[in-house]
């Protein structure tokens, strides 16, 4: 059963101890805006999946990330959310990985479920038509000599 969260309010997501991000809810509009981001559109066709994932995560985070707690400068002073700060935060691999898993991945999960084929109730070859000639049960006999 698909459970809809009808609340359109931003939610806090803890990505690491002491690091929380206030994120807009995942939506079709948010995903489409990230896909249309100039950096995503500028990716070369031969870009690796890793490069595409990083660029897309940054584009999505710039649109969804509204506030944060636990992000500071080298002196420990809290930093405001900025595009440069978001990029620097996502350059930290454990943070990037958690963001991908906890925010992006959950948003894409429904897409993956919708694209999956359910198994045939009577097997994968149900309704298949045989195209090879029938195999005979008798083996050829050796010549007598």
Return the pLDDT at 6. Answer: 67
Tokens read off for 23? 């994120």
Return the pLDDT at 85. Answer: 96
Return the pLDDT at 105. Answer: 84
- For residues 126 and 123, give the distance between their C-alpha atoms in angstroms, rounded to a whole number: 6
Low-confidence ranges of the chain (pLDDT < 50): 111, 114-140
Return the pLDDT at 106. Answer: 76
Return the pLDDT at 51. Answer: 94
């Amino acid at each position: 059963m698909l459970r809809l969260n009808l609340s359109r309010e931003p939610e806090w997501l803890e990505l690491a101890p002491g690091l929380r991000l206030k994120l807009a809810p995942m939506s079709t509009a948010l995903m489409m805006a990230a896909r249309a981001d100039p950096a995503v559109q500028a990716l070369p066709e031969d870009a690796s999946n890793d490069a595409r994932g990083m660029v897309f995560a940054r584009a999505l985070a710039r649109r969804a990330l509204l506030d944060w707690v636990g992000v500071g400068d080298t002196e420990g002073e809290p930093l405001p959310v900025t595009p440069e700060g978001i990029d620097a935060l996502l350059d930290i691999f454990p943070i990037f990985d958690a963001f991908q898993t906890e925010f992006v991945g959950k948003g894409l999960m429904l897409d993956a479920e919708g694209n999956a084929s359910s198994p045939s109730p009577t097997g994968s070859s149900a309704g298949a038509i045989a195209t090879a000639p029938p195999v005979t049960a008798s083996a050829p006999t050796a010549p007598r000599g």
